[in-house]
Structure 1
């Protein structure tokens, strides 16, 4: 189980929350053009900005010419300036001509009330290294000189430390050399001059961890006269121990490999989210603010394929339940939410999912998030099979009738007591999660938990997490549980698992509503993934 508390959203600085926006990679790979990007930005501004999606990010290879022979691993098709720095390819970004870079694109994005981001690679390009370009000294505006000579790309590039996933593309620079630091300074000052608000720095984390370059780039960004959000990638082989070395250096960092639209990719994120929550790194101390473990983009809607020279051409392969699971996990993990689908063709189902007010509220303001791994059911005392559903609900909410209570224990999913749980969709908006005790007649209704997503008008968000769930016609009950304390059989006899909310230390983690009607006005963060694919 994942669980969280939600506190008031009043007066919260957006900069202190998990970043949210749109990234071009999942829908365009590297081939996006200026026209496609700005059209997408206008859609984000019109339909997603009000939901906190404020960044629009051009992903990798924006400097590569889209001509025959150019692809992800090709060499010699990139556009660089006289100082060996990448600049937008003018065949795809016509406003970049005459040395303007991304200045005009950033101005257009800012006019929409959005923030502009770009993807960059580690260190120095192989193309600049082979050309042995000079290094710009930003203090003089001329070639960098030291010890009586002019320094060039081959003096600072480290060929044996090339990017693991793009070995023919980029390499590290020697940050112990003043010339190496001068090159990095010239890069990031140029991005700031263009008006960039977000930098996704790739091939410096995970299996490509380069703490020296991250540290120096962070130092450069910190000294700029305008804030730039600093994101790190990739996330292969990342652990909380590694991430703790980033304290104060970055604002978000990938903690998994690339996530695409397969259930295997989504499922691999559960353990990672658990580990970083357990390490109390959500959030952590970041560059001029917080830092957030990043579960990668949301590959939903209209997509392309990895590593191809082709734009969006297919629908997401995840089922709707799998998409809901992904969005729920990302929200509860408080991961940055970067939508990757083609926003120009976004369908209503995808739109409602990524703008779900409950999930976005959890993503923004929840705290104390952690995992409850398993759930099973038990009977405490005599059977209730002869009672009506309403009678059972009444018993659950009377503190005196503990011997007629339902119990839920946190144990192994292999336990035979896990049998009896079921989940059913009643219609497009309502679901029920039920448990039928052993021996109960099939014509007798089991006790069920109903959930419904609805408007914020019926929900009170307060500092006290016990106020999360309110309803005009529902009966409020709490699930007694704790991730740190396993309930003993003696405790079960004294107190049922479902009981009237009372603020006990072991009741502050999961809250749910019982009602005789599935159409209660409530919002729920009760979410589970257990045994035979049960999702609640």
Structure 2
């Protein structure tokens, strides 16, 4: 059965008509927040998390950064502990679980379940969850700070629920009636998928999201839903996406639904818009120029689907301190992006209106970096409020007229719906400093404009006909163009010579 056939068979009213879905009650603007993965892999603890929430509330919340998300395997007391430097499969610390020959768990204590096979936070890492409280005490703490609480989940049920054949709440069905044995992510062996055609499947997801609503969850990052997911293209699980969407609506609690991993297949763009608030357009994104360079192509491709409460997601921002204790990706380090590359990333993600999710260990990240890249309200305004966002120039691997073989550059355009101002972002994608610009005629801009540098937060002059700046290698600039009242609307040719109206 193809993905499209699956989608047509299980399409729910909520999936087809957004006016009845809680999808429209959240993410009116791209979500801003933090996720634990880039720093802690699967090992974040309640203590780590609370310290981060406190830091965000004190330093970032006033600038719009409101979501704090616990990433994967929060149900395991010590995920990846046996994958040591001396003996590991896949990578050091990877949270695969060890299995018996029949596929059951060798160490069932590595998962925390309730009587209905629903995953629970491990009290060893999240002490406030003890006694069956789940994440509610922690969510309450986040809400007390004026912030929003998020968790990562994997598609399906934990394999231990399948082996125990746990009952499905509210039905006479059990886990083995709906679980697909050995249907797990290409990069993680913890979970089995759900067969949406079987009775009890929707009820299983309903029970999961009922619990999340009781806990006070505001944001769900659902993984293994689409894209490559650690292997050649894995699948697009339309049926399970729709069951999650319907389960959120049935829960009565608005929750952001963010789908991973990527690259998302653009053939399913309309389905994604109907069922999710965010979806990953990239594979896992790290502090490498090649990842950022690839994002220019991906965000260009997805730009027609920006807005309306749904947001193509370029993945987390790998600035600051990453990969603590050499997990999950490379050595523990401060981000390898150069300062200029950081300007390019934040400029591109803002102009493409990607959700912005910081991945760093924030308390040891330099405050100057946090101030520069996460507290510039003029740049964040573009991400949160601009419209008509699109790439207008990109030159890849092409020699310019002067024979420069490093002539890579790009430009993006957007508008301010509040006053008609234009936003222009210019990028030097090459390895040498160069002048990058655009001609006003490309966007039918008439007259003269005041130009404001949004990163520097200052006016830098006026421009007519064209605008250009010198940019360092892999650098970027972001500018607001405000039309000067009374300036001529007559078309001006690129030479700068004014064309008379009678010509």
TM-score (normalizing by structure 1): 0.68
Q: Secondary structure at the match of 2:354?
A: coil
Verify the 8 A CA contact 1:25 1:340 in the aligned structure 2: yes
2:344 maps to: 325
* Other-structure match for 2:118: 85
Runs of 4+ in 1 over 6 A off after TM superposition: 309-312, 508-512, 526-532
User: Are the aligned partners of 2:139 and 2:215 in contact in 1 as well (CA < 8 Å)?
Assistant: yes
Distance in structure 2 (CA, Å) of the matches to 1:321 and 1:98 = 49
List runs of 5+ in structure 1 lacking aligned partners.
1-12, 138-143, 146-150, 285-289, 376-410, 423-432, 434-459, 470-476, 483-504
Matched position secondary structure for 1:66: coil
Deviation at 1:532, TM superposition (A): 7.2
Tell me the CA shift for residue 468 of structure 1: 9.5
Q: Distance in 2 between matches of 1:130 and 1:250?
A: 31
Cα distance in 2, alignment partners of residues 520 and 111 from structure 1: 36
Do the aligned partners of residues 461 and 47 (structure 1) sit closer, same or farther apart at CA in structure 2, a change above 3 Å counting?
Answer: farther
Match in the other structure for 2:205: 184
Determine helix, strand or coil for the equivalent of 1:209: coil
1:521 match: secondary structure: strand
- By relative contact order (CA 8 Å, sep 6+), the higher-ranking structure is 1
Contact 2:340–2:474, Cα closer than 8 Å, also in 1: no
Note the C-alpha offset of 1:170. 1.1
Q: Write out per-residue CA displacement over residues 499-532 of structure 1, whole angstroms, 9 at most, x where no aligned residue.
A: xxxxxx61279977499xx9963599x8999997
**How far apart, in 1, do the equivalents of 2:288 and 2:447 lie?**
30
Partner of 2:391: 371
How many Å separate the matches in 1 of 2:199 and 2:369? 49
Closer/same/farther in 2, CA of residues 527 and 51 from structure 1, 3 Å limit: farther
Q: Note the alpha carbon deviations across 1:110-157, whole angstroms, 9 max, x for none.
A: 0000000000000111121122222221xxxxxx21xxxxx2212211
Unmatched 5+ residue regions in structure 2? Answer: 1-24, 84-93, 99-107, 228-233, 410-415, 426-436, 478-503
Task: Name the CA distance, whole Å, in 1 between partners of 2:291 and 2:279.
Answer: 18
CA distance in 1, matches of 2:448, 2:43: 45
CA positional deviation for 1:344? 1.4
Q: Which residue of 2 aligns with 1:58?
A: 70
Find the residue that maps to 2:274 and give its secondary structure.
coil
Q: Secondary structure at the match of 1:109?
A: helix
SS at match of 1:298: coil
Residue pair 2:378, 2:457 contacting (<8 A) in 1 also: no
Q: Is the 8 A contact 1:199 1:228 kept in 2?
A: yes
Structure 2 residue 107 is the aligned partner of structure 1 residue 74 = no
Kindly report the root-mean-square deviation, in angstroms, between the aligned alpha carbons of the 2 structures: 3.7
Q: Deviations over 1:57-113 (max 9, x none)?
A: 000011111174374112441111121111001100011111000010000000000
Query: Corresponding residue for 2:248?
Result: 221
Determine the C-alpha separation between the residues in 1 that align with 2:124 and 2:248: 30
2:103 matches 1:165: no
CA distance, structure 2, for counterparts of residue 174 and residue 467 of structure 1: 46
Q: CA deviation at 1:164?
A: 2.1
**Paired position in structure 2 for 1:152:** 174
Q: Please state whether the residue corresponding to 2:363 is helix, strand or coil.
A: helix
1:113 aligns with 2:146: yes
* Alpha-carbon distance, 1:297 to partner: 0.4
Whole-angstrom distance in 2 between the partners of 1:529 and 1:20: 31
Choose which of 188, 212, 219 in structure 2 pairs with 1:198: 219
- Alignment-derived partner of residue 421 in structure 2: 465
Distance (whole Å) between structure 1 residues aligned to residue 469 and residue 26 of structure 2: 29
Which residue of 1 is the match for residue 58 of structure 2? 46
Give the structure with higher Rg (CA): 1
Query: 2:269 is matched with which residue: 206, 229, 243?
Result: 243
Structure 1 contact 31–309 (Cα < 8 Å) conserved: no
Partner residue, 1:429: none
Structure 2 length-normalised TM: 0.72
Q: Trace 1:315-394 onto structure 2 (pairs within 5 A).
A: 315-351=334-370, 352-374=372-394
Partner Cα separation in structure 1 for residue 213 and residue 452 of structure 2: 53
Tell me whether 79-88 or 460-469 shows the greater mean CA deviation.
Answer: 460-469
Cα drift, residue 421 of structure 1: 11
Residue of 210, 219, 230 corresponding to 2:237: 210
